[in-house]
Every structure is written in C-alpha cells, then in structure tokens.
Chains A and B, each alone.
Chain A
Amino acid sequence: MFEFTEEQMAVRDMARDFAQKKVAPLADELDKKARYPEELVREMSDLKLMGMCVEEEYGGAGMDMVSYVLALEEVSEACASTGVIMSVNNSLACEPIKRWATVEQKKKFLVPLATGEKLGCYCLTEPEAGSDAAAQKTRAVKKGASFLLTGTKQFITNGYEADLAIVYAVTDPSKGKKGITAFIVDTKTPGFKIAKKERKLGIRGSSCVQISLDQVEVPAENILGVEGEGLKVALSTLEVGRIGIAAQANGIGAASLACSLKYAKEREQFGKPIADLQAIQFMLADMATRLEAARLLTYRAAALKQQGLRTPLESSQAKLFASEMCMKNAWAAVQIHGGYGYIEDYIPERLFRDAKICEIYEGTSEVQRLVIASTVLAQSA
C-alpha cells in the first residue's frame, strides 16, 4: 500500500543523483540571472525526464505517474525553476496530446515533445481570463482548411523557448463554454509573437511571457480533441498539471526542511545548537509532518490518475495542501535561518520567493477550494 515499486525507487534515485550533481549547483545562478537552463533541459531529455509518462513508442519513458512525481520532486528540490520547466512539458504539453490526440498528431507532435527535441507550453490564461478560465476571448476563425487565431495569452511558462503550444481559442462565440477549442500550434507560425517577457518574484530561471496571436494560421487537423470541447481538454489536463505542481511544491518544501535541519544543528546560540531549543524543534517537526502529508496526498492522486481515473478532488487536494505546505515550510526555513534567511547567500531566500507561485498557477488555492467544496457537496446525499 505505502511502498514504492523497485522501478519507482530506481527512477527517484536516478533523478536525485542528477538533481544533486547537475541541477543544484546551478540553481543560484539561474535565479540571479533569470537564465533558462538550456543545458539542464538537454540532459533531462537524455534521461527521459521530459516525457516520462508518454509511451515508449511515442518517444517517452513509458513510466507511471508516481515515478513522475518522485522525479519531479527531486528536480524541484534542487531548483524549482528547472522543476516547472519539466512539469509544464510533461503535464501540460505531453499529457493532453497523449490523452486526446490522434495517432497522426501523436507521431507529429508528441514524439518531439517527449524526446525533448522540442519544448512545449500551454496557453490557456488570458489577461482577463485567469481563475475564470472559460472567459476566453482569443478567437479562432475558420478560413478554408485552417483557423486564424487572434488574441492575447498571459503568463505562459516556457513560452519564450517553446516550439509547440497548446492554445485555447473560441471557435463559436454563440456556444459559450462549449465554443472553446484546443489547438496544437507551432510557435514559429507567422503572427505568433512574444509580446512581453515577465520579471517575476521567483522561479526566475523559467520563462513566463505574454503571447500575442495575430491571425495565426493553424490547420484544422491541429485541433486537439473535438472542436468545441476544448474546456474538457483543459480540465482533464489540469488534473495532471496540478499533480505536477504538487510535486514541485513538495520539492520546495523538502529543500526548506533539509537546509533548516542542517543549519539548526550547526548554528549555536545560548551556548548550544539551536536544534536543542524546542522553539526550533517544533518548527522542524511541523515542517516534516506537513511535508509527509503533502507527499501522501500527491502520491495518492498520482496513483489514481495512473489507473486512468478522473481525479478532480484528489488533484486539487494534493495541489492545495502541497502548495500551502511549501509556502509554510519556506517561511519556517527563513525564520530558522534568522537574518541569514533573508539574504541572497543562503538558500531560504530563494525558496521563499519560489514557493509562492505554487499557490497561484495551475489554479489558485481559491480555485482548488472551489473544486474541492463542490465535489464534497455533490457527494453528500
């Protein structure tokens, strides 16, 4: 019940080894320079970390979702920016194509994404459609065998480097939520422009851009799923995406605990290590307990998703709890480090900034609570 398979442990160990040896030494520089870690993404591709749950015939690693969250936690523990780059490609680019695409589309788009030859991004959010994702304004107008996409997409992670984008647009404004369609778009298509590169509080090593679409021509065969059923694609994708963000949050939470344990044993005040003081011990105890609870919620969601089940409740519970856990743990890490926690020479300063995003993207904590409450209320007789 609560044991990993040998394969899952092997994947975790491999990811840990890579994360500690290759990713961790770069984390500080990526953050300070807001630099995209191209070399790490290449190595992650070689290690098959960019399309972990994609079938081998489509270039992926053919692994299960628990292995994926274990690996993602390890990478995120070393560097949350690298973690989100991996998460977006796996959860938001590969997963919807794996789930909804035709065989032809998979051959054309999934293979390069899963092998890491190409990088994916996910264009759902708009300047005026955040939590209310269905309020899409981007239009897709039919023209012959193609659609012309026009609109603005906001907060697109990986957007600066991405080769392929999953883009949501309104194909039939008269049908409201049922008039939204998902497209697979080549970012080199004329009219697809990076309008602005955002400067962020944290996860500065990953890009976040505003994209403007001006009459971007997308062939009709690039529709992902069924025309008008884009919201269905979006919601099922977010169920996986939220598990990914939960894993990323677990990584940040684990990093917060690890540096705090180390520091508490070394740092002396009042003639003894601060780890001997209950005020510090209790913070450490709560960090570890919350982290363990968050991990179990994440593994549960991943294990159920692996069985092919819908997991709105489990994904949202994992995402909500894990992201709030990592914020609390990062807060505690800064507090335990005292003044040193506030300066850039020590890891907690970065963790504190990185943690916050987990409560916001792929559905704010408020959206998760909406999903959870509506599910619980619906289940009650």
Chain B
Amino acid sequence: MNFSLTEEEKSIQDWARKLSQEIVAPLAVRHSQQKLSTDYLKTISSQGLMTLLVPEAMGGMGLSAVSFALVMKEISKVCGSTGVSLAVSNMIADILVREGSPYQQEKFLQPLIRGETLTASFCLTENSSGSDASALKSRAVKKGKGYELSGEKIYVTNGAFSQFFVVMARTSDEPGSKGVSAFLISRDSKGVTMGKEEDKMGLTGSSTIRMSFENVFVPEENRIGAEGDGFKIAMRALDGGRISVSSQALGIAEASLEFGVRYAKEREAFGKPIADFQAIQWKIADSATLLAAAELLVLQAAYLKDHQKPLTLAASQAKVFATEAAIRVCDEMIQVLGGYGYIREYPVERFYRDVRVTALYEGTSEIQRKVIARELLK
C-alpha cells in the first residue's frame, strides 16, 4: 500500500490544474448560465480532454484510469458542466476502444479524437426505463444489410454537440437485458430528430436533450459487438462512468469546501471569525473527512480498472459514497455561508445545484446499493 501519486500522475494533475485555470475558469460563471459554446468545446477537445483514456497509438491521451480520475476532478472543480461533458465523451471513447471494430474506431473514434465531433453521447434512458434500464423499448428490426431503429430517448448528455450517438435498442423479443444491442448512429442519419433541451436544476452549461429515432437505417457494421451484447457493453461502460461521475462530484465538493473554509476565516460574527466556532469547525472537519474517504474509494476503483481487476463492487461503493458525500459537503457549505450561500453571487449556490445530479445519473444511489448488496450476498 502506497498512497502517493507517481511522478507521472502528479504531472498530469498539474497539467489538468493549469488547463482548468487557463481555459475552464474564465468561462465558468458564463457556463453556469448558458450552454458550453462550440468554440470553447473546440479548445477543450484540442487539448485531448475528450479522449483521455484512448491509447496514444490510436491518437488519444493514453491516460490510466487513476490519472483520468485526477483530471476529471480538477476540471469539475472549476466547472461541473464541462466535467459531465468530458465524462460522457470519454465513456463513449472508452467503449469504442474496448468494444469497437477497426471500422468503428476509424469512422467514429477518430473524428472524436480530431475534434470533428466535439463530444459523443450515450442513448440508454427512455421515458419509462430509467433505473430499470433493461426495460427499454426502442427497437432495431433487421432490414437488408442493417437495421431500422425506432424509439425515444431522454437525458442524452452532450446531445446538442455530438455528431454521433451510441444507442441501445432491442433486437429480439427476449425480455430483459438479453435482447438489447448497441448501435452507432450519426446525427445526420435520416429519421433522427433532436428534441427538447431540458431545463435543469444545475449543470446548466451541459446539454441534455431528448431524441427520437424514426425508422433510422443503421448499417450492420455500426452495431457494437454481437446482437444481444448491448446491455453488457452498457454495464461495462457504466463501471468506468461511475468512476468519472464520482470524480466529478469530488471536484465540485472540493471547490465548495475550499470556498467555505476561506469564507469562514474571513467572515466575522460575535466579534471573531466564524472559523473559531466549533459549530463551523465541525462542518469543515466532517466535510474534509468525507472527501478524503471518498477520494480513496474513487482512486481505488480506478486502480482496479487499470489492473483489470473486478471493478463492479468498488465502482458502486465509490459512486454512492463519493456522490452522497459531495452533496452533503455542498449543502454544509451553504450553511457556512448562510444567506450568502443562497445567492448566485457566491459559487456555493451553483455547486449545490450542480452536484445534486451525481447521485442520479450513471445509476442512482439506489441502484448502486442494489449492486453492492448483490455483490456482497453472492
């Protein structure tokens, strides 16, 4: 056991901090009010941030999962909206590296690496299938040398910016997860309609849209893996996705704690800085302890991923613990700031709204607990 970062990990962390300050921070307030701009995403993409896990030989950044988690945290610390945009794009890139054919890597992954598509998206959730993901209804019916895919998808992160989508649809009547397959669909395919942009509590800069697919023709070579492999592909992707969402949550909460601590030292009440009161000290102590524990769980999950060890239990533990800890910390820091915590002039209000979703997406806390219990009771 050794809890020090390697020299390489430290230098990647420094690189991410520098990028965060130079590129992300100047626009963070704007991106808490309006969508990430195309120019901004181009800059982000040109730094390799959308394909951090892709091996260097394929043109990506070739980061380990541990380094990736560190980068996700640093970026999210400055802008949670940018964080989620990275999380989803990198997850799709990771799917294509792991499961994609050479053709798919050339046709879809390479444009993501080159920045021709600024982001990538994942279409799993539907109106009536959220946590019960395998109950999805979208269908892909065999037709000639491909499929005709129809269905409605919701909560498509990066929807406004992505040129292609990984879409989960049912290819057989087998109930549950077995009949699900994964497809790559270009934005400009006939029958693809971009729906409403959701109005969210937080992460205002990120795009979350509905999409509808109406008899969209998908060539067979765009199916990832075999027919019926879709759900497994999705679940493997989510193991990794849980690490990045946990890191995102950690970043937002760390930013909130740092702000709260600085504020507590400056703000005076009853003739002394509020940091001198145990009521405030306790919030700081508990927040720092929760985040320290959460970070260890997240890095452990990333480490297991890097070493191809069983990941499911560790990733779900990291996710449920880190995101719930982060939400609590962001809540406590509003309390530290009092009324100032509730107004938009101070960033803790945004952190609180931004962080809340981390316990929902990539598997709600309830799903994580179900997964953990299942692993324990095996």
Kindly state whether residue B265 has any CB partner on chain A within 8 Å: yes
Residue pair B289, A320 in contact (C-beta under 8 Å): yes
For residue B265, which residues in chain A have a CB less than 8 angstroms away from its CB? 377, 380
Kindly state whether residue B275 has any CB partner on chain A within 8 Å: yes
Residue pair A377, B377 in contact (C-beta under 8 Å): no
Q: Nearest chain B CB to A244's CB is how many angstroms away?
A: 16
Residue pair A299, B1 in contact (C-beta under 8 Å): yes
B289 to chain A: closest residue by CB: A317
Total number of B residues with any Cβ neighbor in A under 8 Å: 40
Kindly state whether residue A259 has any CB partner on chain B within 8 Å: no
Residue pair A296, B293 in contact (C-beta under 8 Å): yes
A296 to B261 alpha-carbon distance, docked (Å):
25
Residue pair B3, A1 in contact (C-beta under 8 Å): yes
Binds B, one of A129-137, A194-202, A285-293: A285-293
A320 to B284 alpha-carbon distance, docked (Å):
13
Choose from A284, A292, A313, A372 the contact partner of B373 (Cβ within 8 Å): A284
For residue B261, which residues in chain A have a CB less than 8 angstroms away from its CB? 376-377, 380
B366-378 to A contact mask, C-beta < 8 Å, 1/0: 1011101110110
A376 to chain B: closest residue by CB: B288
For residue A373, which residues in chain B have a CB less than 8 angstroms away from its CB? 275, 281-282, 284-285, 288
Kindly state whether residue B162 has any CB partner on chain A within 8 Å: no
For residue A76, which residues in chain B have a CB less than 8 angstroms away from its CB? none
For residue B264, which residues in chain A have a CB less than 8 angstroms away from its CB? 377
* A293-B294 contact in complex given A278-B370, A376-B285, C-beta closer than 8 Å: yes
B197-222 residues with Cβ-Cβ distance < 8 A to A are none
For residue B317, which residues in chain A have a CB less than 8 angstroms away from its CB? 288-289, 292-293
Choose from B278, B284, B369 the contact partner of A377 (Cβ within 8 Å): B284
A289 to chain B: closest residue by CB: B317
Kindly state whether residue A303 has any CB partner on chain B within 8 Å: yes
Q: Nearest chain A CB to B315's CB is how many angstroms away?
A: 12
A53-67 residues with Cβ-Cβ distance < 8 A to B are 66
Kindly state whether residue B56 has any CB partner on chain A within 8 Å: no
B321 to chain A: closest residue by CB: A289
Chain A residues at the B interface, C-beta cutoff of 8 Å: 1-5, 8, 66, 261, 264-265, 275, 278, 281-282, 284-286, 288-290, 292-294, 296-297, 299-300, 302-304, 313-314, 317, 320-321, 368-370, 372-374, 376-377, 380-381
List 4 extra interface pairs beyond A66-B1, A293-B294, A302-B1, CB under 8 A: A2-B299, A317-B292, A369-B281, A373-B281
